[in-house]
Chain A
C-alpha cells in the first residue's frame, strides 16, 4: 500500500474509533444531534463525491436522489403498508433507478460540465413540482410516517441508536468509496474525468462507466434520504427535492476535497464546526450558516482548489 493510502487508512480508522466512542462521552442531546448531523452530511457528501469528485460530473441537483429515497420509503410504508426494512430496500432501489435513468438520458446526449450540472438541477425541480402537486406524495403537505418505535420499524426511541445507524451507513459508504478508488472502475472513472477522448482511445466506454457511477451515487444519496425520513418522520417536496439539500450535498466534498475518500468527511466536519462558530457569534439567524459556507467555498476555490485535503498532499 502506498504511503498515502496508509496515511488515509490511519486517519479513517482513527476517526472511526473517535466516532464509535462519541456517545460514551457526549451527554447532551444537542451534541449528539450535532454529530449525527455531521455524519449525515458526510454520507450525503460522499454520494455526491462518487459522481462529482471521481467521475468528474458535478451535479447541482443531487437532492433528486435524496428525495426519491425519502419519498419512496415513506410512500411504501404509508400508502402500501410495507414494513420499514422492505421499504428502505425499495427506497434505495428507487434512488438507483432514478440515477440510472437520469444518467442514461443526460450522458446519452453527451451533456457535460456546466450543462450537466444545470440539467440535474432542472430534473430535481421537476420532481419537486410533481411531488408538491401529487396527492399520492402528500402534495403540499408532505408525507408523515406514524411514530412507532422499534427496530422492526427502523425507528428508535433513543437518539443514540440512530447515531449508530448513521455511523454504520457512513462506514459502509466510505468502505465502498475506498474500494472504488483502488479498483479498475475507479481508475476508469478518473480517466474519464481527466480526459474523456483519451479514455475512449484506451478502450473505456464512457457512457457505461458514467451511468454506473451515477447509479451508485444515487443509491448512496437515497440511503441518506431514507435515514433522514426515518429520523425526522416527515418530508415535503421542498426539503426532499429543493436546492437546499443539493447545495448541502456538494459543499462538503468541495470544501474537504473532491475525489478523495476523506474529503466529504473533512468537509462535513469543517462545515459543522463553522456553523457552531457562526451560531455562537451571530446567533441562530436564518441564512447565517449558508452565508458562512458560501464565503468558505469562495476562499477554498481561491486558495485551495483541491479542498482541505490539498493541504495534506501539497497538490494544487
Chain B
C-alpha cells in the first residue's frame, strides 16, 4: 500500500526541464531510495513533493489524498516531512530548542516539547550536544540535527535529502542504524543518497533519476546490474566492460 504516489511530475525552470514525467511510489513501512548522478533533479523532485515548488504537471498523493500544490506547513501537518540537502539549522538556538520546534507541532506546552526533544536527541545519539548552539555543530552533527528535528514532528513519511553526505564511514554506519530503527517504529522513508553501500543495505526499493527522468526502478540488486544505470553514472564506456 503506497503511502506516497507521485505521478508524471514535470518541473521546468525557464528553459531548463529539471524533472520530466517522473513517477514514483513509496510503500508504507519500507525504505525507498532515490538515486542518480549530481544534477539529476532529485532535490527538485523532493521540493515538489513537499510543497516547496509547484509542479508544471503531474500530481502528488499522500495517504490517498491529493496534496499537489499545498503549502509546506500544511503538508508537514499531514505527516510528510523533509530535510534539506544544504542543512538549515536554527543557528542561534540550542540542539534541544531546535528539535523542540519540531515537537511543538503536536505538543503545545513548552516544557513537554523540550522533554520530547531530549528523547529524540537520545534516539539519534545526540544527548551530548543537547545544550550546544546549533551553529557550533559539525556538518555531521547538523545533518543529524536535521534528522532529529524532522523526526520530532512524528511524521508518517520522512524525506531525507543526502543525510549521509560528508560523513565518515563510522558515522554512516551509525546513521544507518538510526534510520533502520526509525523504519521499525513505523515511519515510511524516502531517501536521496549518494553513499552507495548505505543505499544498497538499507533500501527495499530504488528509483534511479537521470537528467530529470526515472530510468530504472527495482530492488537494489536489480539496479546495480542495470546497464542504463551504470551508463548514467559512469558513462558509455563502462557499460562495455560491465
Contact = CB atoms under 8 A, between A and B. Distances in A.
Interface in B88-145: 88-93, 97, 100-102, 104-105, 108-110, 113, 133
Interface in B25-56: 50, 52
14 contacts: A182-B110, A187-B101, A188-B101, A194-B89, A195-B89, A197-B84, A200-B52, A200-B72, A201-B82, A202-B102, A203-B76, A203-B105, A204-B73, A204-B101
A202 B76 contact: yes
Contact of A201 (B76, B89, B109): B76
Interface string B78-89: 000111100011
A191 interface: yes
B60 to A, nearest CB: 16
Given A188-B104, A201-B82, A195 B73 contact: no
A187 B84 contact: no
Most A Cβ at <10 Å: residue of B50, B82, B101: B101
Nearest to A182: B110
Contacts of A20: none
Interface residues of B, number: 31
Contacts of A259: 92
A187 B88 contact: no
A198 interface: yes
A193 B237 CA distance: 50
Interface string A160-200: 00000000000000000000001110011011001101111
Given A184-B104, A184-B108, A187-B104, A201 B81 contact: yes
Contact of A195 (B71, B90, B133): B90
Contact of B81 (A197, A202, A206, A315): A202
A194 B91 contact: yes
Contacts of B101: 187-188, 191, 199, 202, 204
Contacts of A198: 84, 88-90, 149
Contacts of A197: 52, 84, 88
A86 interface: no
B150 interface: yes
Contacts of B89: 194-195, 198
Contact of A187 (B72, B73, B113, B150): B113
B20 interface: no
B181 interface: no
A206 B153 CA distance: 17
Contacts of A188: 101, 104
A114 interface: no
Interface residues on A, range: 20 to 34
Given A195-B89, A198-B89, 4 more contacts: A191-B101, A194-B89, A199-B101, A202-B153
Contacts of B153: 202-203
Contacts of B149: 198, 202
B65 interface: no
Nearest to A184: B104
A201 B84 contact: yes
A315 B91 CA distance: 12
Contacts of B100: 187
Contacts of B91: 194-195
A205 interface: yes
B92 A194 contact: yes
Given A187-B97, A187-B110, A199-B101, A205 B73 contact: yes
A199 B153 CA distance: 12
Contacts of B50: 201
A205 B77 CA distance: 11
Contacts of A199: 90, 101
Nearest to A181: B110
A199 B98 CA distance: 10
A186 B110 CA distance: 10
Contacts of A184: 104, 108-110, 113
Given A182-B110, A202-B101, A202-B150, A190 B90 contact: yes
